[in-house]
């Protein structure tokens, strides 16, 4: 062996070690987040119970059922449709770990796009995990990507054609769960994911459905409730009631010609009243600085702070920050008031969900206090 | 003498505590036709407010001159929404023409017009203000959420055109002046 | 199908780089080759 062969072996070994370190980091995102369900969770199932074709794939995800045993409405709440919008996932986790249903049923899917939790978005420099101090000490949760992992659905088409509308979107949206409804059984990985969720809504006769999201502070629709036209009165009533608590939500009606989104397709293809909520998440924004765990949890970004003081930049960002606790609190309070508003409109078929932490308590105590 | 002084003071005190929104005005009549000017979802909120105070109102997002016939009051909820216009499949110009047509029809019928601007700052700015101005100037009474009047846009129009105006802090607070402005 | 075609191409490129790594005499070029090899390995083993 000559000298350059020895050098090649040494470099190869060094490359191997670096690959192993990187692999460990990447593979850590395949370890499932652990939730500690409340004693009132009656059953735990899988999404594949509604579509066996996704069993054993990264499209499958846990489903938690709270069955009061008393007849009433069935409510479903989805978190983690976009795994880089953690307030939805954590709000769902708070419900799984605390809620008690005394009338009707509640179904929670905390990580609706399980595939998206196994990777971060390329070139975004996002953390793979974030930590919340909880009752039992620090707990770590995954911070994923907006869409599914390309390892599970590849390649992206140049143009994504939504089924069945034929609406054209950019290719990467083919991995976006919230552009894949109502989906199809023989479709792409993400279309099957969407199809399974629609099957669940149909089979369980879900009356009210929620999809929790976040958006960058510069996005126009933020701190908003978006609903299918069927739910406009329920949403308007909830917005007014939330306003009494000094919580501002703008009401948006789902455009009839924008397909693939939960509020549009669930409303069109099932009997459910569909609602989607948005909060302001600076860790998703284009103006942000370092994308650290601290930014995800504390929501403090110096560049957004500066931007919020400028008149010519239109953003929804409180200069004191948009912490995860506040964003989760908004989702939980919005959820609570929308369910109440539904109950007001349908007293004959209502759902009573208790033990949802109050907005002020979550903001002041921190969301960790409501995680076991 | 002392008795008269007390009476005067009571009368003065009563004047002070009288809510501003009751300082009007010829009352409006029902039924109400609610329409949007700019296709924002605020029209849904306006319909909900009317429902909460038991006003007989019908919301038609894209009302035309034909819809005006059956109503006695026209309530316009101005505010531009690109999403709303996109969903309706119409351009800003088409929407502007429709609003002008509805206002003209209402004026021809000698119908009175109320403007309800409840969207705050998001329903201000270049795109919205053409709608806001057009509707405000055609109205006889306006209820505006204060955030949307930071620059006195509506107060200036109200002062110049001698239009009744009530400013409220929150959308929900618009219910009271709204209720008070209608005959029961 | 395209996915596996991609993996085969990545494996082919990786094996060519590996062969060249042992032929190359400049250590600077060898270092560059190993750096290029890392993402290819992560792709082939479907880690990232």
Nearest to C30 among A7, A23, A151 (CB): A7
Counting CB pairs under 8 A, whether chains C and A reach 3 or more, is yes
| pLDDT higher at C30 or A312 | C30
Secondary structure string (H, E, C) spanning B113-144: EEEEECCCHHHCCHHHHHHHHHHHHHCCEEEE
Report CA-CA distances (Å) from A277 to A75, A262, A273, B65.
15, 11, 13, 36
Inform me whether the C-beta atom of residue A28 falls under 8 Å from chain C C-beta atoms. no
Same domain, A252 and A312: yes
Which of A208, A178, A204 is CA-nearest to residue A88? A178
Q: What pLDDT, in 10s, does the model give residues B5-23?
A: 766 666 666 555 544 444 4
Inform me whether the C-beta atom of residue C35 falls under 8 Å from chain A C-beta atoms. yes
Same domain, A328 and A348: yes
* Partners of residue A224 on adjacent β-strands: A250, A278
Same domain, A233 and A153: yes
> Domain for residue B108, yes or no?
yes
Tally A–B CB contacts below 8 A. 52
Inform me whether the C-beta atom of residue B45 falls under 8 Å from chain A C-beta atoms. yes
Q: How close is the nearest chain B Cα to the Cα of A178, in Å?
A: 18
Compute the distance between CA of residue A364 and CA of residue A13 in angstroms, rounded to an integer: 51
pLDDT at A314: 78
Judge: B48–A255 Cβ closer than 8 Å, yes or no: no
> Domain for residue B9, yes or no?
no
pLDDT < 50: residue spans in chain B: 18-24
pLDDT at B21: 46
> Domain for residue B87, yes or no?
yes
Compute the distance between CA of residue A324 and CA of residue A362 in angstroms, rounded to an integer: 10
Q: How close is the nearest chain B Cα to the Cα of A290, in Å?
A: 29
Judge: A250–B48 Cβ closer than 8 Å, yes or no: no
Same domain, A50 and A102: yes
> Domain for residue B16, yes or no?
no
A287-A293-A295-A298 Cα dihedral, nearest 10 degrees: 170
| DSSP H or E stretch at residue A331 | helix A324-345
The residue segments making up the domain with residue A15 are: 1-30
- Phi, psi dihedral angles at B114 (to 5 degrees): -115, 140
Same domain, A25 and A143: no
> Domain for residue B95, yes or no?
yes
Judge: B83–A244 Cβ closer than 8 Å, yes or no: no
Same domain, A125 and A3: no
Same domain, A13 and A127: no
* Partners of residue A64 on adjacent β-strands: A44, A108
Q: Kindly list the residues from chain A whose CB atom is less than 8 angstroms away from the CB atom of residue C38.
A: 15, 18-19, 22
Question: What is this model's ipTM?
Answer: 0.94
Please confirm whether the linkage preceding A69 is cis (ω < 30° from 0).
no
Judge: A19–C34 Cβ closer than 8 Å, yes or no: no
Radius of gyration of chain B (CA): 18
Look at chain A and report how many structural domains it folds into: 2
Same domain, A8 and A45: no
> Domain for residue B58, yes or no?
yes
Lowest pLDDT segment from A190-204, A213-227, A330-344: A213-227
Give which of A240, A258, A263 to mutate to test B binding, by max B Cβ within 10 Å. Answer: A240
**Is residue A89 within 8 Å of A108, Cβ to Cβ?**
no
**Is residue A283 within 8 Å of A299, Cβ to Cβ?**
yes
Q: How close is the nearest chain B Cα to the Cα of A121, in Å?
A: 27
pLDDT at B88: 85
Look at chain B and report how many structural domains it folds into: 1
Judge: C41–A119 Cβ closer than 8 Å, yes or no: no
Please tell me the pTM assigned to this model.
Answer: 0.90
Q: How confident is the model at residue A307 (pLDDT cuts 50, 70, 90)?
A: very high
Nearest to A251 among B41, B51, B89 (CB): B41
Judge: C48–A119 Cβ closer than 8 Å, yes or no: yes
Same domain, A105 and A184: yes
Same domain, A289 and A341: yes
Residue B56, number of CB atoms within 10 A of its CB: 14
Same domain, A16 and A130: no
Instruction: Provide the CATH number for the domain around residue B175.
Output: 3.40.50
> DSSP letters along chain B, please?
-HHHHHHHHHHHHHHHHS-GGGS--PPB-SSEEEEEESB-THHHHHHHHHHHTT--EEE-TT--HHHHTT-SEEEEEE-B-HHHHHHHT--HHHHHHHHHHHHHHHHHTT-EEEEEE-S-GGG-SHHHHHHHHHHHHH-SEEEEEGGGGTT-HHHHHHHHHT-EEEEESSSGGGHHHHHHTB--
Give which of A5, A19, A171 to mutate to test C binding, by max C Cβ within 10 Å. Answer: A19
Q: What pLDDT, in 10s, does the model give residues A5-40?
A: 999 999 999 999 999 999 999 999 999 999 999 999
The residue segments making up the domain with residue B152 are: 25-180
Domain limits of chain C?
2-44
For A239, which residue in chain B has the nearest alpha carbon? B45
Compute the distance between CA of residue A341 and CA of residue A324 in angstroms, rounded to an integer: 25
Give which of A251, A256, A316 to mutate to test B binding, by max B Cβ within 10 Å. Answer: A251
Judge: A240–B171 Cβ closer than 8 Å, yes or no: yes
Question: For A104, left (φ over 0), alpha (ψ -120 to 50), or beta?
Answer: left
- Whether A312 shows a pLDDT value over 80: the answer reads no
């Amino acid at each position: 062996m000559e000298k350059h062969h020895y050098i090649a072996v040494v470099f190869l070994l060094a490359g191997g070690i670096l690959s192993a370190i990187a692999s460990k980091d990447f593979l850590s995102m395949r370890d499932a987040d652990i939730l500690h369900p409340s004693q009132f969770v009656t059953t735990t199932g899988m999404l594949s119970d509604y579509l066996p074709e996704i069993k054993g794939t990264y499209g499958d995800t846990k489903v938690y059922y709270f069955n009061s045993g008393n007849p009433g409405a069935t409510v479903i709440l989805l978190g983690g449709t976009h795994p880089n919008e953690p307030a939805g996932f954590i709000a769902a986790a708070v419900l799984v770990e605390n809620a008690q249903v005394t009338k009707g049923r509640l179904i929670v899917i905390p990580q609706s796009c399980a595939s998206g939790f196994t990777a971060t978005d390329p070139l975004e420099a996002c953390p793979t995990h974030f930590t919340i101090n909880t009752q039992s000490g620090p707990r770590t949760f995954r911070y994923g990507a907006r869409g599914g992992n390309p390892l599970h659905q590849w390649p992206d088409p140049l143009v994504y054609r939504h089924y069945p509308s034929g609406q054209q979107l950019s290719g990467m949206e083919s991995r976006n769960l919230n552009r894949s409804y109502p989906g199809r059984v023989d479709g792409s990985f993400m279309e099957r994911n969407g199809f399974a969720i629609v099957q669940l809504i149909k089979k369980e006769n879900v009356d009210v459905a929620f999809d929790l999201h976040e958006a960058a502070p510069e996005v126009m629709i933020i701190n908003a409730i978006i609903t299918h036209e069927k739910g406009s009165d329920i949403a308007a009533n909830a917005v007014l009631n939330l306003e009494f608590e000094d919580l501002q939500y703008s009401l948006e009606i789902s455009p009839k010609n924008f397909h693939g989104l939960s509020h549009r397709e669930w409303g069109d293809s099932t009997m459910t009243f569909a609602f989607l909520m948005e909060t302001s998440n600076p860790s998703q924004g284009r103006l942000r600085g370092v994308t650290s765990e601290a930014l995800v949890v504390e929501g403090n970004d110096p560049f957004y702070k500066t931007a919020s003081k400028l008149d010519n930049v239109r953003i929804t960002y409180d200069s004191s920050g948009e912490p995860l606790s506040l964003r989760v609190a908004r989702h939980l309070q919005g959820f609570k008031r929308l369910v109440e508003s539904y109950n007001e409109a349908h007293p004959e078929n209502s759902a009573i969900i208790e033990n949802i932490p109050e907005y002020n308590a979550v903001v002041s105590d921190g969301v960790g206090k409501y995680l076991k | 003498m002392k008795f008269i002084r007390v009476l005067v003071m009571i009368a003065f005190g009563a004047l002070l505590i009288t809510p501003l929104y009751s300082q009007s005005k010829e009352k409006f009549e029902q039924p109400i036709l609610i329409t949007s000017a700019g296709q924002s979802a605020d029209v849904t909120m306006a319909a909900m407010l009317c429902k909460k105070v038991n006003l007989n109102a019908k919301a038609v997002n894209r009302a035309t001159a034909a819809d005006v016939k059956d109503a006695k009051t026209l309530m316009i909820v101005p505010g531009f929404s690109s999403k709303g216009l996109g969903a309706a499949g119409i351009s800003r110009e088409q929407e502007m023409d429709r609003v002008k047509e509805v206002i003209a029809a209402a004026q021809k019928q000698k119908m009175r017009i109320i403007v309800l601007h409840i969207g705050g700052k998001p329903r201000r700015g270049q795109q919205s203000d053409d709608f806001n101005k057009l509707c405000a100037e055609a109205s006889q009474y306006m209820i505006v959420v204060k955030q949307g009047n930071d620059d006195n846009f509506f107060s200036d129009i109200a002062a110049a055109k001698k239009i009744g105006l009530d400013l409220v802090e929150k959308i929900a607070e618009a219910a009271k002046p709204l209720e008070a402005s209608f005959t029961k | 199908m395209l996915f596996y075609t991609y993996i085969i191409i990545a494996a082919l490129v990786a094996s060519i780089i590996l062969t060249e790594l042992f032929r190359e005499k400049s250590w600077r070029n060898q270092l560059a080759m190993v750096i290029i090899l890392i993402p290819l390995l992560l792709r082939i083993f479907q880690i990232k």
